[in-house]
Structure 1
Amino acid sequence: MVINFKWLIAVVFLTLYFSLHAQIDNNDKKPLSVVKKSQEAKEKKTVTAIYSLYNNGEEKKALRSVKTFLKNAKYPSNIASAVLLQAYYYNKRSILDSSIYYTNQALKFNAKITNDSLKNRLFSLEYNLMGLNYIRKGLFEVSKKWHLKGLEVSQKYKETDLYYTHLHGLAGVYNSLKDSKNALKLFKECLDYKKDEEITLGSYINIGDIYSDLKDYEKANYYYNKGKELSEKTNNQQARAVITLSLGANYQLQEKTNDAIKMYNEVVSIADKNELNQIALIARGNIGDAYIDLKKYKEAKEIFISALQKATIYGYLNDQVYFYNELKKIAVLQNDYKDAFDYLNKATKLKDSINKVQQIKEINELEIKYKTAQKEKEIRLLQFDNTTKKLKLEKQEEAIENMNLQEEISQKITENTILFFQNSSQKKLSEISLLKKDQQLKSLEIKQEKETKLLTIFGFLIVLLPIIGLLLQYYKRLKTQRLLNIQQAEISTQNINNLLKDQELKLIKASISGQDKERQRISQELHDSIGGNLAAIKLQLNHLVISSSPKIKNLTALLDETYQQVRNLSHTLIPKKFTHHKFCEVLESYFNNIGEASNITTSFTVYPKKEIDALNEEIQIEIFKIIQELLTNTIKHAKASKIDLQLNLIENILNILFEDNGIGFNPDDYKPGIGFINLENRIDKLSGSFVIDSKFKRGTIANIEIPVLSISNAIEDETAKGINVKKQLDNLTKL
């Protein structure tokens, strides 16, 4: 039995979550007064000092400093950074609801920042934290949405480090969704980014885990070894221990037990040396399991007893239960039922104590939440004491400024020493270059002497060269003249053919434009004349005294159906929309216009934009009609105040994610109408899939996936058939 230890990989990336002070750039380039600049600079220094406290391990002190700072803070960029620190604090302690709350607060303050570059960089960091929170809550689709938003922002402002951070997060979401193909693709893309060793190391470990789950142990070992080399190079002993543990587990799954024991022993030595107690216990447990597989029960028992002692010292209760169960298993295999019963009793007692501790922990968490709420109330009541605390803060800020000045002085001293060494090295290089030039001059003199000797020997041969050159030139002229004549004849024939083709193209374009105009005229006539007449007839029928008779009702229903058919026919005759405009621009304009007209807040996200704009026009029209139908249903029935639309093209599959915050409905009791049936028919026509998720008072999410490649092939076949039919008709007309 191999212990599941993949949760340890999260420990390797803690530094990614808490390196905000290195990523946030607070250079505001907007013109401000001198007073405002000094105030903002003071606030910025305070935030930097708080982050340094947090990263040096004094997290609770940093949290208290944040709450004090927020009482008097004025500038949105500094407030957003401080609030975001609170979100990271609660994320680390797995209090995910609080982390999400503070991240949302940071997003609100972030929206007020005037510097676009800083604003969008902070947005990208906040989107990343949201993705991490929701993946830990098990809401993988929501996490995916936040990482996609982060990718869009980081691409727009060319933030390479944040782009790969979100790409790594998105790969983790795909891995959690058991989508190994996309997870592998994105993790391998992360390996191209060499500037962040944590992302590279995490990608190696995750790729190894995926191949291990797929039972491709050879590839898994390859990527684990790559990660091991990098961890040794960067002296990351924790990552090295985790990777070596993974290699041992792979060997054990392949029944190479001796190789597995060798790896586990290496993990124990690394973990004991670096005080990685949890990893050392897992490795010892795996060694015991390997000895059981080899039927070396005595050695296994010794290992488990020593591991149990260490788990007792460290206070790891779950590990103690596991080791007692393993000792019980060995006792049963040795027919020592007395010891087996004793170990079983000890394991059950520990389990009971763990349950009690768990209950106490939950009570403590609730108490902490209550205390935080109380403290926030106290902060609001104690705002009148700000004057005295401001003086303390100013003294602290002056001390920080002095420290910064000292650091700048030390940096300048080091820069001067570096310049001195550079000047000395440049002098040496110039001396070397002078020596090289002397050598080159001597070699040139020797060459000149050789050349004079050769000129005297071969001088008489040079006189013959012009005569030979003239003869060759005359021969080449004759040859080139003949080739020019042939080429001119070919060019003239090509020009004639090109003129004929241009005339054919002009005729085709003229016929197409004429058809479009005629279709538009017919659609207008159908909609304005016939549609208007039908509407007038319906109004007159409704005013008849005998309008309640069933015949009149049937007649009005028939008129409605006829009017709808005329309307649909008029709309289908209108020329295509996307001939002169890009698809995404038309869709975004339509979406925004609908939002403005109905007072609904709209959000539209496309990724990747160029590939979606390049789709076949027939597919684009169908997608546009699908989105029209979804919008119509939402405006009519949902009573929503916000609509979110996302288009994603991944692996030749177009994903349409349509979300609203309306009243929702129960899909089991819902009877689909004509609009809903038309929507399903359009999606079936495109060989797509359609999933709808809705609940009362929670809104509706529509998830549509359309395979683009198969549709485009079908359209090409249809167009090819149409071209063949046109050619046959042309031949008939010629006859």
Structure 2
Amino acid sequence: EAYKIKDTLTILSSLSGLAQSYDYEADKPYRLDYLKKLEQAANNFNNNQFKIISSLLKGNFYLLRDQPKEAIRYYKDTKQYNFTSRDSSMLLRTIGNLGVIYNEDLKMYDSALYYYTKKLDIIENNEKFQNTNNFYNSFLNLGSLYLNMGDYEKAAYYTKLADSLPINESVAFRKSMINQNLSAIYEAQGEYKMAYSHFKEFKRYSDTLNRIESLEGIAKFENQDLRIKNLETEAAKQKTQNIAIGLASSLVLGSIIAFLLFKNTKRKQKLAEQEKEIESQKLETVLKEQELTAIDAMIEGQEKERQRIANDLHDDLGGLMANVKLHFNALKDRGSPELFDKTNNLIEEAYQKVRAVAHAKNSGVIAKQGLLKAVQNMADKISASNKIQIEVLDHGLDQRLENSLELTLFRIIQELVTNIIKHAQATEATIHLTNHDDSINIMIEDNGKGFNPSQVTITSKGMGISSIDKRVEHLDGKLTIESEKDKGTTVIIDIPL
């Protein structure tokens, strides 16, 4: 059995190494053919660690090929696995890479802030990750993000935090990045003297970095030259030079072929996207019917519950109270102790009926199970159609909210999900529910077609935004919509508690 396990790990490790080898056709790291073999082997052997590695490496593959949405898909797949302490460094890299994509590629800054903050939180709460390299990357990423968001005070704060760390390796590279950030921050604030000062430092460290690379290159060629000098004849030297020229020519030819293959792949991708769009339009009607049925059924159930309560109040409690009134009238005339006791019992019965009805009123899906469970149930029903997958993530939602607030928030989320189904043409969506000390935050992201927010006003009835905005306004909250054509949509709602 031990030999079998050892052989399995040898196979998986070998495939992992091959998957990370250089793809000379694409002129980039990672080989897709071996990545697929690694994924298949990890599934066949049911090895959780290499399933994580396979998913993470696929995310890296697409990230380096400027396909951020595909990279996000595999990084989010990576997050779904159960991470042991041994594998937790891969979770840290996954979360960090998601932050980079949302910040630099998709310009979805709230999403980037969520992942960057989560990464820093993991580092600060785990001694294993508390090293200079991790803190440097987190602080510099946050500085870059806040620069993009226009919050220059926080951008400077986090960049200076990165600069305050004791840097003992890759000094020139890291100092050049810090000074490049600071130069951009001060330039954006109109402090051109400080901007120029840091730009000079950036240039100095960049020149140092170039010199280091040049010296490394010279050393490499000198070592090659020493080996060449060991050849016994000039003919052997000439032969070596001819081989080098041939290799150089092959590399140039290979680069041209790789470029042509890249252009051809792009054309194929465009055709595939057009075909996908046509197929999506064909399925649009079916999709709407399937997804909206689940939401309509939930709303219909709530309406029936309210109708049942109204009937109980009218039929049961109404008749009982009429009977009480008759007995009291008789009691007034006759003054009978027996009648008084009977009337008192009827009043007690009426009281118990009121309590029972009140309890029944609070037995719906929201009051009984809470906002989080209701949202999760809705997401599960919609995801079961396999047309769109909805993920629900909660942060600090350990305590229940007031019942009417939970119901209002649930209806807001229902409308937003309906919006995604009707308009976004998305295949994935994520619902974040975050409970802060004095507010609750709802963030819903999708990977749909997006839109230009400047062309859609709050009163646009077709988008369903107007009713959502009114509900949020009624709760003294704030609604923010971030979207870009072909880059999905993020809706952020903050409600004070």
Structure with greater helix percent = 1
TM-score, normalised relative to structure 1: 0.36
TM-score, normalised relative to structure 2: 0.49
- Flag the structure with more relative contact order, 1 or 2, with Cα contacts below 8 A and sequence separation at least 6: 2
Asked which structure has the greater CA Rg, the reply is 1
